Chain A
């Protein structure tokens, strides 16, 4: 039986911005860690960058978690961007219009 691998997050504050490294599965189980990572990343005054390059699965409950984080960022008037999405999840972000509310970038270098 497939197990739920869960999500791991690492926050690195780099000057003005904070990079949140995500690793594993983004689903409903990721809510607490994503929100905690957002709070930790808020120590940086500027943009929060979500690194999806080590995420292997995102489902609709995970999209809800990301929407929740974007709602927190909107309330804080803070810019969120993302990189490391596969072509498929990039398409999902476009279809769900998540891409309208966060800057989707190709890789870490363009996220700098």
Chain B
């Protein structure tokens, strides 16, 4: 006997029964594949069919013959072949009589409806189980996602931070995060994992943890994204990736430094209109060793920065038209001073999609509004051209820490407005000066620190590097003789002081309270 299991594909399932001849012997189920010539014959015969009367050939017919089957009794329900009874030779060695065939035909007619019912019940049970499994998976995904999203919004003097997250029924992989980096620096993350459900939620959880770890190891968003990308590549399932935008906001002065891994660009509503903060980069998890660029912007009092996920821009209206970037931009432009950006944008989106439509993807929105200059920065920030302190920190005298100093100074200068060429020169000068302080000022003694202050006014930035070598000579830079070095007449070393002098507009070396201080001065405007 074989029973066909209905399914989306062409699978069949068989069940073996003892043959009359050898009651204890069981046959492997011989399946009649859909479309087999035997199926056509059985459906058209409507009753038992003697195998010897069949002239056609097929795999099923060959197998039945090989097993010694003489009579095939089709089980038909609603014009569909539900299964078949296979009978071998009668025990009496007599051929099957007309009465036998009638009896078997009647039996089949009674069995078929019962089989049909059993088949439907089995299918419904399987579908219910599948629905339950999917529902459970969605609940797990939603739980993972909602557990990891921030429980509360940052509360910062002079700033208003708001966020909105609404998962789609299938739960996409959107996430956002706020990271308190200390020293008045706030990390803001928005991301989207491709795929949905539990796999996306697990990748989101992994990515979020990696971002949090990297955020405290690197000063610049580009370095954080590069680090997370390399960590994610070996962990992420094939064909999945994560788009992510990471911004660090200096909440004292409004400077934003950000890098992008394939995510929607942020918008900033300024007094003069809406601008797009441009930054490009490959999504995370696709390929190792990807590079990202730090971009900078300075939020003025009253500016609003809006970060979105593609669940907003790619939402469709009933006519199949996408909401799109231009509508997001238009809504950001239309906001008035006292409007709630989240309600305004989400309300407009709901009017676009219609309230009846099922939400296609997660919707995530992060809004950062600079309401006023922070009180804490008022003491050091003067708009009349006076100085402001952008950063102050110290590092132990350990070889390699000059690169950390470079990262920190670079991040502090986000929003100052140095062009890329001048910023790179200053970074090199800072690295060389800190390296000298570690090696020559502090003799590589890791119990002694190197102090760094970054001070700016409207026209220039000054980086002050302090070490403990107040009793040591302060050497003057000389131009190295490269010819003599190449000829082996001089050591190849001795480039540091020369480079420092060439990279910045002014270098001042002074002694202060037993310390050596090197001041690197870089004008905002200048050559290149």
Contacts and interface: CB of A to CB of B under 8 A. Distances in A.
A103 B136 CA distance: 65
Contacts of A61: 435, 493, 495-496
Contacts of B486: 67, 70-71, 74, 101
A68 B491 CA distance: 9
Interface in B447-481: 480
Interface string A22-55: 0000000000000000000000000000000000
Contacts of A97: 482
Interface string A49-85: 0000000010111011101101100110000000000
Nearest to B399: A4
Interface stretch (B116-124, B154-162, B179-187, B400-408): B400-408
Contacts, number: 74
B402 A71 contact: no
Tier of interface size on chain B: 20 to 34
Contacts of A65: 492
B502 interface: yes
A63 B495 contact: yes
Contact of B492 (A57, A67, A87, A88): A67
Contacts of B400: 1-4
A88 B428 contact: yes
Chain B binding site: helix, strand, loop or mixed by DSSP? helix
A83 B502 CA distance: 23
A63 to B, nearest CB: 5
Contacts of B402: 59
B487 interface: yes
Contact of B499 (A3, A60, A67, A74): A60
Nearest to A97: B482
Nearest to A100: B482
Contacts of B482: 67, 96-98, 100-101
B428 A1 contact: no
Contacts of A57: 403
A63 B431 CA distance: 14
A14 B492 CA distance: 29
Nearest to B432: A60
B399 A64 contact: no
Contact of A64 (B424, B435, B495): B495
Candidate in A2, A65, A87, A88 with the most chain B CB atoms within 10 angstroms:
A2
Nearest to A63: B495
Interface of A: 1-4, 57, 59-61, 63-65, 67-68, 70-71, 74-75, 86-88, 91-92, 95-98, 100-101
Given A64-B494, A91-B425, 5 more contacts: A1-B401, A60-B435, A67-B486, A97-B482, A98-B482
23 contacts: A2-B403, A2-B407, A3-B400, A4-B400, A59-B428, A59-B496, A60-B435, A60-B493, A60-B495, A61-B493, A64-B491, A64-B492, A64-B494, A65-B492, A67-B486, A68-B492, A74-B486, A86-B424, A88-B424, A88-B428, A91-B421, A92-B499, A96-B480
For the complex of A and B, 5 pairs with smallest distance between CB atoms: A88-B424, A60-B495, A67-B492, A60-B496, A2-B404
